[in-house]
Amino acid sequence: MNKLLKMFFVSILLFSTSCSNQQVLTDLSVNQDISVAQKTKKTIIQLTQQPQNIVEHGVYFGTVTEKLPDDNDGLKHEVFMIKMTQGKYKEKIVKVAHDTSYAPYIEELKAGDNLEIKGDLIINATPEMVLHWTHKSDNPKHPSGYIKLNGKVYE
């Protein structure tokens, strides 16, 4: 069972336990056995801090596996999935969120297209890795990105 699911079940279990003199438990380990947690009959206020996102900025290569509906909440993004074809993430499936308020929309994009993408890869995003910042940066402290399809650069 993955850690987040285990944390969820432990928190539900402990919150549903009734005890008139409950104590507050703030340091319950994710790996603590559920039966031990049941016996303590303590309320969990904080299980653990969420891990910080691990972000790698670089150039990535992949093949489009699926074009998804555009994300029109807030800044508009063209969204699609790629399968990485090179490097340490070869064979991994990655969601690409291409911000079309900063860069042109890629009308001709379709499954099977091979892309070169420069941007930020968020490693521990769930349920999949996410590649974003695939456009020119208006922030001098952040490198620009792009998407290259059939020799044409979208930035």
Delimit the domains of the chain by residue range. Answer: 3-44, 55-154
Q: Which residues of 90-127 are buried (b: 16+ CB within 10 A; e: fewer)?
A: eebebbbbbbbebbeebeebeeebebebbbbbbeebee
The whole-angstrom separation of Cα 101 and Cα 115 is 20
Q: Structure pTM?
A: 0.66
The whole-angstrom separation of Cα 47 and Cα 83 is 34
Mean predicted lDDT score pLDDT of the chain: 77
Tell me the three state secondary structure of residue 16: helix
CATH code for the part of the protein at 55-154: 2.40.50.140
Closest CA to 71 of 63, 79, 83: 79
Higher pLDDT, 10 or 36: 36
**Mean predicted confidence (pLDDT) in 48-70:** 85
Residue 32 has pLDDT above 70, yes or no: no
User: What percent of the chain stands above pLDDT 90?
Assistant: 57
Q: Could you read off the pLDDT of 124-150 as tens digits, one per residue?
A: 766 789 999 999 998 999 999 999 999
Please enumerate in sequence order all residues whose Cβ is within 8 A of that of 145, keeping only pairs 6 or more positions apart, or say none: 57, 117, 118, 119, 120, 133, 134, 135, 136, 137, 155
H/E element, 84: strand 77-84
